[in-house]
């Protein structure tokens, strides 16, 4: 495509003076960004009519530029109108936008013209972009150091005032698009331009270089390809900025979008769109998303997350539904119909039980199913808790226990098995119960302190401001203090609730998710998410606040499903489900939140802590492992300072060693040991369960001996201990999603009760081992399969050798001594943890040292046994010792010390020490070396006495030697030699 105006402006740019060019540049930049604002340029666009796309333009630059793109220029008018309508509809919601839309009316042509103009002038920007690119690179390096300051800045900006805010930093730019239209033009311009520069510099450079290369002959479709790439990129960037929509970022070979976000949701979502769905509810006990229609309840399994899972459905009687939950064995369905009534429907028999409360004095706040031995379902009422057990025979509920207290509201998560009951005027006094398989545990009552905005103001704590999270098998309660703008964390121990510190909040609406033991605090208003790793006690975020990214969503797929609703990140319809799901209620989408491990690890320069972080990841263990290996390789290849690399290696080795000690690092031998025969199957099952119980122990070890974890490890039912019962098995649980289904069905059969003994860790381990031995082989096999599928992120020394040292050995040829230093650190780490290392690494050391002819050091390494003696090493020493006799001797000595008599004698003979070899052979009774070798060596030395001696030796010591041809040959030779001497 080439338009007259394009050609015109291009020639214009060429002739204008530098000063003018500057001006135009500025202008174009502004125009480029602020398309929504009216512009005073009165240029008519001759192309406007031809394409008929002007309607779409006033809304969104995206549609206009896509219409301008050569490929889509013939897009139908209907389509664009539709898009335009779509977006004008949206705009109507916003009065300011509506106003500006009115202003815009009649300026379509101008805008269109400007669009064209801009595209043509992009190449003026390019030169700046190229300059800026280097600058950005430099800034990228310093960005990590700036993160702390960055957070403060964010806080100041977001909380300090109500004016619209743009958040920007050298690398990380976030624009709050919802309010963007009302803000000053300049800042917006700068921000988006910056973003474009960040994102599209590569494309821009390509395009720019192409244009500059061909500037003399301006022609049709000049540098079209490069232009398209650049435009595409820019469009995406500004699209995100302008409309608040994430857009396609998966351009081949270009993944900068990853760097802009640490948390993402993957397109496509689980679509729960069914006609007539009234509402969505989440059953976290069974990890089911429930969609209600007038007469049915549809359930989608969310674990494991599969976007294409088909729903199952059950009929549902007409009537209001306040909440709905399946029992944990999925046989019963409980529906809260009103504040006074809960109905329980048996799926198999179709019977319905109705449970009501005294309507005058109390009301039902909610209910949940429990897998505690004494009760099956718990009702939370304003007057307290009712624990019921379900009797399948009588098909009735039986009241087990009642806890009387006033309850204002409650929160419960199934993964923690913890219900928190709020009471008091301000609802800040909490009582907690944990309904574990060991029974019902009452937690100490605790009060939450809240900041007051005024002296006499007594804020009331709302249920949505309190969250229960489980990370690393610990339970925390997070409380959002709206006045102080802080998120307080409380950690639950069995005998205490301890406040743990606070996290800053930058938004009036927040949500909390936990992905792979990482806490995600969504600042919903600011549309950013801050991630924390609660493992360490420090409360500094892992990285800067960054937007949530929509991944894998491309324009192409959108255009295919044009009717599809819009995806709005942090839209109003989003509700966050425990622990890591987002339900877009408006659209019926269910998203799963993922961590972008690459981006997180790329964003920090403190490599050892990045490695620690990655090593703790269980969900994407393999990915984390690969990342760790890649990081280790890069560290070495970039020749980072020795102490840094040493620390990094320490991290890897230490975590591996800990994993070995606690047994959570699965050894392949386990799987190999397990034979399919019945008897040994039982045996292997024992080992497996032992393993899992050791995991538990580790969980406890990290804690003090007290705490809820103890409790939960006491209450293990065998099947459940492997799957998802208790909190302290959280580490295990990450690997056991697959098992959920199977154990869910079989759970009843394997329920083994355990007495709640003291909180002694050892005792509990022993007990669980005993239980393990009684467990069914089938269950254990399941966990075994599972372990072979999901590995942990820990890296064994062997892997470290194979994927790091061996892999880069060749590349480091120029700097062997550096690599040797690294390997020494590796050995130090390994020996500190008493780990065996691959013998090949010693061979590698020998090679590296010999390559640089550092034989003296090599000698020290061998003499001090830093290099573990082995045959491989000895032979390598012999080989490397071709240049250096001492080294060769070391190899020989090593063979001797290893008692490899045959090799030793053979090599001695080869080195012409045949007499010594002979003596040694006699002493150690080596008779595997052919006599002819000795004789040849003696003959070669041209010493008839020696030859005769060797001959005599074999004649005496090897029976029948006298009859061999060797004997005859050499006898003659000796005789010849003697006669020649005599003459």
Partner 1 sequence: MGLSSGSNASEAVKLCVFDLRRGQNEGQELDKILFFYPADLPFTTQLSVIGLSEGLITFTRIFSPEAACDVIEAEMHSHVFYEAEPDIWMVMVVEKNKESEAMWRIDALRRVLKEVHTLFVMFHGSIRELVDKEPTGGLVRTHLYYFIMDYLSDFFIGKKLHLPNFRDSLKERGTVQMLTVGREVAIDVQSLVRVIESCAENSKCYSLTMFQDLLVSTTLSPDDTVSLFTYAVLRLTPQALSSGVSSWSYLRKGSTACNTSAGAVMANSCPSVDQYYNSGDTSPVGNRSYPVVRPLQNDKWSKGKDGFLVTDIWGAEFGSSIPTSPTIWLKQTEERMYLCAYQLRSLTVILLIPVSSVLNGEQGIAMVKQQILENASLKMFKVEEKLSRGWGGENAYHVSGYRYLLVDGDRYVSRASPPGKVTTLTKDSLVALSNLREEVDSERIRANSDGLSHEKDLEICIRAKNNAWLIARLTRGKELYMVLEKANETLLYASDAVMKFSDRYCNGAFSLE
Q: For partner 1, which is the closer residue by CB, 104 or 822?
A: 822
Nearest distance, CB of residue 568 and partner 1, angstroms: 52
Backbone angles phi, psi at 568, to 5 degrees: -115, 120
Q: For partner 1, which is the closer residue by CB, 258 or 857?
A: 857
Q: For partner 1, which is the closer residue by CB, 308 or 923?
A: 923
Quick check: 344 and 353 in contact, CB under 8 A?
Answer: yes
CA distance 981 to 944: 9
Nearest distance, CB of residue 889 and partner 1, angstroms: 6
**Two tokens at 835?**
């780990």
CA distance 911 to 909: 5
Give the bridge partners for 593, in sequence order: 265
Helix (H, G, I), strand (E, B) or coil at 679: helix
Q: For partner 1, which is the closer residue by CB, 143 or 646?
A: 646
Q: For partner 1, which is the closer residue by CB, 496 or 940?
A: 940
Nearest distance, CB of residue 880 and partner 1, angstroms: 15
Nearest distance, CB of residue 804 and partner 1, angstroms: 17
Length of the chain: 983
Nearest distance, CB of residue 831 and partner 1, angstroms: 5
Give the bridge partners for 411, in sequence order: 420
Q: For partner 1, which is the closer residue by CB, 265 or 653?
A: 653
Give the contacts of 654 (CB within 8 A, at least 6 positions apart). 829, 833
**Two tokens at 431?**
């009582």
Q: For partner 1, which is the closer residue by CB, 751 or 926?
A: 926
Q: Which helix (H) or strand (E) holds 63?
A: helix 61-68
Nearest distance, CB of residue 947 and partner 1, angstroms: 15
Could you tell me where the beta strands, DSSP code E, fall in 448-496?
466-471, 474-481, 486-492
Helix (H, G, I), strand (E, B) or coil at 832: helix
Q: For partner 1, which is the closer residue by CB, 104 or 827?
A: 827
Eight-class DSSP state of 802: I
Helix (H, G, I), strand (E, B) or coil at 958: coil
Nearest distance, CB of residue 910 and partner 1, angstroms: 13
Nearest distance, CB of residue 65 and partner 1, angstroms: 50
Give the bridge partners for 420, in sequence order: 411, 432
**Two tokens at 701?**
């070890």
Nearest distance, CB of residue 825 and partner 1, angstroms: 6
Q: At what angle do helices 737-750 and 777-789 cross, to 10 degrees?
A: 170
| Total Cβ atoms within 10 A of residue 449 | 11
CA distance 366 to 292: 18
Strands 474-481, 486-492: pairing is antiparallel
Q: For partner 1, which is the closer residue by CB, 337 or 888?
A: 888
Radius of gyration in angstroms for the set of CA atoms belonging to the chain, rounded to a whole number: 37
User: Hunting for tokens 């061909």 — which residue is that?
Assistant: 214
How far, in Å, are 595, 636, 640 from residue 644 at the CA level?
26, 10, 7
Nearest distance, CB of residue 816 and partner 1, angstroms: 12
Nearest distance, CB of residue 843 and partner 1, angstroms: 17
Q: For partner 1, which is the closer residue by CB, 102 or 856?
A: 856
Helices (H), 703-729: 708-714, 718-722
Q: Is the peptide bond before 579 cis (omega within 30 degrees of 0)?
A: yes
**Two tokens at 865?**
């046994």
Q: For partner 1, which is the closer residue by CB, 773 or 924?
A: 924
CA distance 195 to 182: 19
Give the bridge partners for 396, in sequence order: 391
Q: For partner 1, which is the closer residue by CB, 396 or 817?
A: 817
Quick check: 419 and 368 in contact, CB under 8 A?
Answer: yes
Give the bridge partners for 589, in sequence order: 271, 584
Q: How many helices (H) and strands (E) does the chain have?
A: 36, 31
Nearest distance, CB of residue 855 and partner 1, angstroms: 8
Q: For partner 1, which is the closer residue by CB, 333 or 844?
A: 844
Per-residue b/e over 264-290, b at no fewer than 16 CB within 10 Å? bbbbebbebeeeebeebbbbbbbbbbb
Residues in contact with partner 1 by the rule CB under 8 A: 641-643, 646, 817-818, 820-821, 824-825, 827-828, 831-832, 854, 856-857, 859-861, 864-866, 885-886, 889, 893, 896-897, 912-913, 915-916, 919-920, 923
CA distance 905 to 907: 5
| Total Cβ atoms within 10 A of residue 299 | 23
Nearest distance, CB of residue 945 and partner 1, angstroms: 14
CA distance 81 to 51: 12
Nearest distance, CB of residue 882 and partner 1, angstroms: 15
Nearest distance, CB of residue 814 and partner 1, angstroms: 12
Nearest distance, CB of residue 805 and partner 1, angstroms: 15
**Closest to 868 measured CA to CA, from 826, 898, 902:** 898
Greatest Cα pair distance, the chain, in angstroms, is 136
Q: For partner 1, which is the closer residue by CB, 338 or 821?
A: 821
Nearest distance, CB of residue 895 and partner 1, angstroms: 12
Q: For partner 1, which is the closer residue by CB, 291 or 881?
A: 881
How far, in Å, are 88, 458, 462, 475, 500 from residue 428 at the CA level?
45, 11, 9, 18, 17
Nearest distance, CB of residue 644 and partner 1, angstroms: 10
CA distance 292 to 308: 19
Q: For partner 1, which is the closer residue by CB, 258 or 833?
A: 833
| Total Cβ atoms within 10 A of residue 451 | 12
Q: For partner 1, which is the closer residue by CB, 230 or 649?
A: 649
């Amino acid at each position: 495509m080439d338009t007259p105006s394009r050609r015109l402006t291009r020639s214009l740019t060429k002739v204008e003076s530098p000063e003018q060019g500057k001006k135009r540049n500025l202008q174009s930049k502004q125009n480029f960004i602020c398309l929504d604002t009216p512009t005073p340029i009165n240029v008519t666009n001759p192309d406007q009519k031809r394409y008929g796309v002007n309607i779409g333009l006033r809304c969104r630059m995206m549609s206009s530029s896509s219409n301008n793109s050569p490929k889509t220029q013939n897009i139908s008018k209907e389509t664009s109108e539709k898009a335009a309508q779509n977006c004008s509809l949206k705009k109507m919601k916003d009065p300011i936008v509506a106003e500006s839309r009115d202003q815009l009316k009649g300026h379509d042509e101008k805008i269109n013209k400007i669009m064209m103009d801009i595209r043509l002038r992009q190449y003026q920007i390019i030169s700046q972009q190229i300059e800026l690119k280097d600058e950005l690179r430099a800034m990228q390096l310093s960005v990590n150091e700036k993160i702390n300051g960055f957070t403060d800045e964010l806080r100041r900006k977001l909380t300090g005032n109500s004016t619209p805010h743009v958040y920007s930093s050298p690398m990380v730019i976030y624009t709050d698009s919802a309010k963007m239209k009302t803000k000053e033009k300049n800042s917006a311009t700068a921000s988006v331009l910056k973003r474009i520069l960040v994102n599209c510099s590569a494309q821009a450079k390509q395009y720019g270089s192409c244009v500059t290369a061909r500037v003399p002959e301006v022609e049709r479709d000049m540098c079209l390809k490069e232009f398209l790439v650049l435009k595409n990129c820019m469009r995406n960037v500004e699209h995100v900025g302008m409309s608040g929509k994430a857009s396609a970022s998966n351009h081949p070979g270009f993944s900068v979008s990853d760097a802009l976000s640490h948390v993402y949701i993957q397109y496509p979502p689980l679509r729960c769109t069914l006609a007539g769905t009234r509402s969505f509810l989440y059953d976290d006990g069974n990890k089911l998303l429930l969609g209600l229609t007038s007469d049915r309840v549809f359930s989608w399994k969310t674990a494991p997350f599969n976007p294409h899972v088909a729903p199952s459905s059950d009929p549902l009687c007409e009537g209001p539904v306040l909440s709905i939950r399946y029992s944990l064995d999925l046989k019963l369905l409980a529906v809260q119909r009103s504040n006074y009534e809960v109905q329980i429907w048996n799926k198999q028999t179709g019977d319905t039980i109705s449970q009501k409360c005294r309507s005058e004095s109390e009301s039902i706040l909610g209910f949940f199913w429990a897998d505690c031995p004494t009760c099956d379902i718990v009702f939370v009422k304003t007057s307290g808790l009712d624990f019921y057990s379900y009797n399948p025979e009588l098909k009735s509920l039986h009241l087990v226990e009642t806890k009387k207290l006033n309850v204002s509201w409650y929160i419960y998560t199934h993964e923690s098995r913890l219900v928190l009951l709020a009471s008091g005027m301000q609802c800040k006094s909490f009582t907690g119960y944990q309904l574990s398989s060991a029974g019902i545990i009452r937690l100490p009552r605790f009060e939450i302190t809240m900041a007051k905005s005024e002296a006499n103001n007594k804020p009331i704590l709302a249920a949505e401001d309190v969250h229960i999270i489980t990370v690393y098998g610990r339970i925390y309660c997070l409380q959002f203090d709206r006045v102080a703008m802080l998120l307080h964390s409380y950690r639950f121990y069995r005998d205490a609730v301890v406040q743990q510190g606070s996290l800053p909040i930058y938004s009036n609406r927040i949500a909390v998710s936990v992905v792979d033991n990482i806490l995600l605090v969504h600042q919903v208003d600011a549309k950013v998410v801050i991630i924390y790793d609660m493992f360490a006690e420090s409360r500094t975020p892992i990285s800067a606040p960054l937007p949530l990214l929509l991944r894998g969503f491309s324009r192409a797929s959108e255009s295919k499903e044009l009717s599809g609703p819009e995806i709005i990140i942090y839209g109003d319809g989003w509700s966050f489900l425990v622990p890591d799901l987002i339900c877009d209620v408006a659209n019926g989408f269910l998203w799963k939140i993922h961590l972008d491990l690459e981006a997180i690890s790329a964003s920090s320069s403190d490599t050892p802590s990045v490695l620690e972080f990655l090593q703790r990841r269980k969900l994407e263990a393999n990915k984390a492992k690969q990342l760790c290996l890649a990081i280790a390789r890069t560290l070495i290849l970039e020749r980072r300072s020795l102490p840094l690399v040493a620390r990094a290696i320490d991290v890897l080795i230490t975590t591996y060693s800990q994993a070995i000690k606690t047994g959570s690092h699965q050894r392949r031998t386990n799987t190999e040991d397990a034979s399919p025969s019945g008897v040994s199957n039982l045996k292997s099952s024992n080992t497996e369960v032992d393993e899992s119980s050791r995991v538990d122990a580790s969980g406890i070890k990290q804690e003090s001996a007290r705490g809820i974890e103890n409790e939960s490890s006491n209450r293990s039912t065998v099947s459940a201990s492997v799957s998802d019962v208790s909190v302290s098995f959280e580490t295990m649980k990450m690997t056991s999603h697959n098992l959920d289904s199977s154990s869910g069905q079989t759970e009843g059969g394997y329920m083994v009760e355990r007495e709640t003994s003291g909180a002694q860790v050892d005792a509990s381990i022993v007990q669980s081992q005993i239980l393990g031995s009684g467990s069914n082989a089938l269950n254990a096999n399941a966990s075994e399969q599972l372990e072979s599928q999901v590995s942990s992120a820990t890296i064994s020394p062997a892997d470290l050798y194979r994927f790091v040292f061996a892999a880069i050995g060749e590349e480091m040829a120029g700097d062997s001594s550096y690599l040797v230093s690294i390997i020494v650190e590796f050995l130090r780490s390994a020996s500190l943890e008493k780990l065996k290392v691959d013998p090949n690494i010693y061979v590698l050391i020998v090679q590296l040292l010999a390559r640089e002819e550092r034989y003296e050091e090599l000698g020290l390494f061998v003499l001090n046994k830093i290099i573990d003696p082995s045959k491989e090493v000895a032979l390598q020493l012999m080989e490397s010792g071709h240049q250096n006799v001492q080294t060769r001797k070391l190899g020989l000595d090593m063979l001797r010390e290893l008692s490899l008599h045959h090799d030793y004698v053979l090599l001695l003979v080869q080195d012409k020490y045949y007499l010594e070899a002979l003596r040694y052979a006699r002493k150690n009774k080596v008779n595997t070396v052919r006599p002819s070798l000795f004789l040849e060596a003696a003959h070669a030395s041209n010493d008839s006495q020696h030859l005769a001696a060797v001959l005599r030796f074999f004649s005496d010591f090897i029976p029948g030697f006298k009859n061999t041809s060797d004997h005859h040959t050499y006898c003659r030779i000796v005789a010849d030699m003697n006669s020649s001497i005599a003459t």
